[in-house]
Structure 1
Amino acid sequence: MKKLIDWMTNTVGSKASKMAKNPWIASVQETMVATMPVMLISSFITILSILNEYIPNFPDFSYISTFTMGLSSIMVAFMIPTFLLEKFRLPKYKRQAGFMGVALLFMMSQAGIDDAGNFAIASDRVGAGGMFVAIVAGLFVGFIMKVFSKRSLFKKDTTMPKFLVDSFDSMAPIIVIMIIAFITCHVLKLDLYNYVNIALSPLVNIAQSFGGFVLIMFLMCFFYSFGLSSWILVPVYYTVGINAIAENAKLVAAGHAAKYITTNEVFGGWIWLGGAGCTLMLCVIFAFFCKSAKLKGLGKTCLIPGIFNINEPIVFGSIVFNPLLMIPMWICGLVIPSITYLVMRLGLVTIPSDSFLLWYMPIPFQTYLTNHDFRGVILVFILLAITFLIYYPFAKAYDKQCLLEEKEEKEKEKAAEERKAKRLAK
């Protein structure tokens, strides 16, 4: 275990940190984080839509979702090249880059103007379903802009104002992007939207498989137990999840059952029980089943944040680099997603088909609002009981260790006080 910790700290940890700081990866990661508030608005609309079933003539707020999650790919295509040029400290073209990212997304999505003069584009291609294409468009635009950003049509000592120089210089990369898009999308009539999705389908298929689903969750727990934030996996699981929930919504709208399980909604409703690593029951064990003053205090302090799925205090306060608690976190990262996936694949619990990203909402409320299926609530209580059983023996062993340490500390304090009393007596 010591060798594993040293290897993770000195080798994997440093490489993972470098990877997370890579401008290309960091740009996608920050874009996903930046879109979350927009997605949360759509999640609130999902809650309001429940009232439509019980209150006659209640306003239909789904219109708002059309212009939040329904335009999410446009936001991604705009932000990725902007963030990318900022990361490379090349802000010269970042505004034009954002616009060109959107323009390229439209061209790749076969947008156009019909005979009546109306601009038309398939709505699913600018919503969550077009997320992968938007990422490709944004990265491509960012790459072209980066190549041209260090070149200028004017000499350094030119008397022209800087804003005019930058404006004229930006024309070169814009022309290159447009010519490439014109040839591929208009002249050759290639549907790049479908080609990108076909090219990325192996990644999606792996992520949607039983092994892929469990692996994503295990890696989150594994890295987290070494102090590496699970956010480093955001570009993978968040993008796959957003695309999957859009596909599930289309299937349900067509009268079919949702089939994609690897979604952010499933993670929040059944897998992150108190946060990545299922630490809610660990807080309960510390607070009510341990005798150590340290663990009881930590459990009571972390219980409320844990109910709202915020578990940094309990993870960094007790689990990180602690073999006694790292192991049960890894076990939870294997067992809980395995059970959840199999139960949903067997049709015993409804697979979510509506966007619901209010990850900080306590379970089981979040669980029910995710798929409106009481069987899902039963499942989440079963999963909580399983995490309790997994953590309990390890937590009790750690409790004994802490009690021994506290006893030794008290004996040292008592000995120090006795020595002090003898000195004063002399």
Structure 2
Amino acid sequence: MNKFLSFLEKYFMPVAGKLAAQRHLQALRDGIILAMPMIIIGSFFLILGFLPFPHYSEFMAGIFGDQWLTKLLYANDATFGMMGLIAAFGIAYRLAEKYNLDGVTAGVISLCAFLVATPFHVTFTPEGAKTAVEVGGAIPVAYMGSKGLFVAILIGLFSTEVYNFIVKKNIVIKMPDGVPPAVSKSFVALIPGFIVITIIWLIRLVIEYFGISSIHDIVALVLGKPLGLLGGTLPGTIIALFLVQLLWSAGLHGMNIVGGVMSPIWLQATAENMEAFKSGHELPHIITQQFVEVFVNMGGSGATFGLVMIMLMWSKSKQMKQLGKLALPPGVFMINEPITFGMPIVMNALMIIPFILAPIVNAITTYIGMDLGLVAKPAGIAIPWTTPPIIGGYLASGGHISGALIQVFNIVLDLLIYLPFYKMWDKQLYTQEKSFESDQKAI
């Protein structure tokens, strides 16, 4: 065990520390987080539209008319459905902050470049018609959401790098002293903004010349599909969870680092499930953002809710019993730093084993249950990550009791996984406490 800790300290922590400090990964994570409040707000309206009560639809239609659901989901389309648009601004904004540039200016340039890359037309089939009709002058909502997320990420990073390069080279228009700062900043953005927009415009023209509809289609094929296959599979998710837990074991926020890469994949799957749920179609994905947040990491990273139960019921050492009482309230709301750093689990070779194992087992059992149809898949409802277990499973699965039951099942499994390791740890502390008490009496 000591060799394992030495390995983590010598080889793993330096690399992981550099990844944690990498500005592009930080910008990607923080930029997407900017969209999370809107995603949760949109999901709230989705829940209202599909409450699992008998005759609920008829009741709402009787009060608000037959179009009540369409009107209710206006808010969902304008929040959850704008994920890509918000990310284009947010990623550029956060990356510009890392370079000590004006974040708002960088965000606006990225946002406009994202729209330049997007074709302003939609294709639909009118009611009763046999052929599709293309209408110009309309921004396609699909590209503003999860379908455009990867393009938003690439443009957000690219446009800010260009902006930073030009500003650092001092190729900007400077206004005289006395000009208001807001006006001066807008002129600083003129040249980098023009260059970014022109580059994206030329790329779009070249793509269209070869008969491809948009940059979105290329990115979805070249980048989105392989990443989706990795992040949307059980083996890929297990690898991601292993890395998350290993990073946490070294004292680094694993989900912040790994989530910067995986969150776009899981969020896209969440949005696709949401669209299918709204339409009444079969949900296409098992692994989404909520699969990981709600069904895997109950109590926080490492699935430590079961561990809290053990600490409350089976602790012999006074310090662990007291820590269990302190850790219960935050643990109910998926916050486990009191345990991670208070037990501690970080750099504790004995507790690292179940800390890594528990979430992986949760992922396997939940995936099998959903794949066999025994458990309802995540319905694309982005509930807050602090939602307590059982309630979270019920809501995330679209109001299915099976979502709550699989959480209970996983908590019991986690308890059994942690129990033998915790007993060994607790015994060590109990022995130390007794030894200390004996020494105090001897004095």
TM-score (norm 2): 0.86
| Match of residue 39 from structure 2 | 39
**Other structure's SS at 1:274 match:** coil
CA shift digits 1:361-391 (9 cap, x unpaired): 1111110111122222222221111111111
CA distance in 2, matches of 1:20, 1:313: 21
TM-fit CA distance, 1:302 = 0.6
TM-fit CA distance, 1:350 = 2.0
CA distance in 1, matches of 2:177, 2:301: 57
Identity score, percent: 29
CA distance in 1, matches of 2:268, 2:407: 24
2:153 maps to 1:135? yes
CA distance in 2, matches of 1:167, 1:32: 25
The answer to whether the 8 A contact 2:381-2:395 is kept is no
Residues 364-375 of structure 1: pairs in structure 2 closer than 5 A: 364-371=390-397, 372-375=399-402
TM-fit CA distance, 1:52 = 8.4
- Aligned equivalent of 2:199, options 167, 176, 180: 180
- Aligned equivalent of 2:114, options 105, 124, 129: 105
1:22 aligned partner, one-letter code? Q
The answer to whether the 8 A contact 2:121-2:135 is kept is no
TM-fit CA distance, 1:263 = 0.9
| Match of residue 295 from structure 1 | 320
TM-fit CA distance, 1:158 = 6.6
CA distance in 2, matches of 1:182, 1:157: 28
**Other structure's SS at 2:35 match:** helix
Unaligned runs of 5+ in 2: 124-133
1:192 aligned partner, one-letter code? I
CA distance in 2, matches of 1:106, 1:158: 32
1:409 aligned partner, one-letter code? F
| Match of residue 333 from structure 2 | 308
1:274 aligned partner, one-letter code? G
TM-fit CA distance, 1:162 = 7.9
Distance verdict in 2 for CA 1:275–1:106, change over 3 Å: same
- Aligned equivalent of 1:75, options 63, 86, 102: 86
CA shift digits 1:325-345 (9 cap, x unpaired): 111112213211111122222
The answer to whether the 8 A contact 1:76-1:131 is kept is yes
Distance verdict in 2 for CA 1:154–1:170, change over 3 Å: closer
Distance verdict in 2 for CA 1:354–1:188, change over 3 Å: closer
Aligned length: 414
- Aligned equivalent of 1:208, options 207, 212, 232: 232
CA shift digits 1:68-101 (9 cap, x unpaired): 111121111012112212101233xx43321121
| Match of residue 196 from structure 1 | 219
CA distance in 1, matches of 2:320, 2:31: 38
| Match of residue 353 from structure 2 | 327
Distance verdict in 2 for CA 1:79–1:154, change over 3 Å: closer
Distance verdict in 2 for CA 1:51–1:270, change over 3 Å: closer
| Match of residue 419 from structure 1 | none
CA distance in 1, matches of 2:174, 2:100: 19
| Match of residue 86 from structure 1 | 97
2:423 aligned partner, one-letter code? K
1:181 aligned partner, one-letter code? I
CA distance in 2, matches of 1:278, 1:355: 21
1:370 aligned partner, one-letter code? A
| Match of residue 243 from structure 2 | 219
The answer to whether the 8 A contact 2:117-2:204 is kept is yes
1:401 aligned partner, one-letter code? Q
**Other structure's SS at 2:290 match:** helix
2:238 maps to 1:229? no
- Aligned equivalent of 1:265, options 266, 276, 290: 290
TM-fit CA distance, 1:235 = 1.2
TM-fit CA distance, 1:168 = 3.9
CA distance in 2, matches of 1:249, 1:165: 43
Name which of structure 1's ranges 164-173 and 199-208 shifts more when overlaid on structure 2.
164-173
| Match of residue 413 from structure 1 | 440
CA distance in 2, matches of 1:154, 1:251: 48
CA distance in 2, matches of 1:37, 1:254: 24
| Match of residue 24 from structure 1 | 24
| Match of residue 127 from structure 2 | none
**Other structure's SS at 1:174 match:** helix
Unaligned runs of 5+ in 1: 417-426
| Structure 1 stretches of at least 4 aligned residues deviating more than 6 Å after TM superposition | 154-160
CA distance in 1, matches of 2:282, 2:180: 57
Distance verdict in 2 for CA 1:358–1:237, change over 3 Å: same
1:97 aligned partner, one-letter code? A
| Match of residue 421 from structure 1 | none
| Match of residue 423 from structure 1 | none
CA distance in 2, matches of 1:332, 1:347: 23
1:130 aligned partner, one-letter code? G
**Other structure's SS at 1:339 match:** helix
The answer to whether the 8 A contact 1:141-1:177 is kept is yes
CA shift digits 1:269-296 (9 cap, x unpaired): 2101111111111111111111211111
CA shift digits 1:242-268 (9 cap, x unpaired): 100112233445654213222111123
Name which of structure 1's ranges 14-23 and 269-278 shifts more when overlaid on structure 2.
14-23
| Match of residue 390 from structure 1 | 417
The answer to whether the 8 A contact 1:152-1:169 is kept is no
CA distance in 1, matches of 2:361, 2:17: 28
The answer to whether the 8 A contact 2:89-2:110 is kept is yes
TM-fit CA distance, 1:126 = 0.4
| Match of residue 424 from structure 1 | none
| Match of residue 420 from structure 1 | none
| Match of residue 8 from structure 1 | 8
Distance verdict in 2 for CA 1:41–1:158, change over 3 Å: closer
The answer to whether the 8 A contact 1:349-1:375 is kept is yes
TM-fit CA distance, 1:314 = 1.1
CA shift digits 1:35-93 (9 cap, x unpaired): 222222123223333448534336653221122111121111012112212101233xx
The answer to whether the 8 A contact 2:394-2:403 is kept is yes
The answer to whether the 8 A contact 1:23-1:87 is kept is yes
| Match of residue 146 from structure 1 | 164
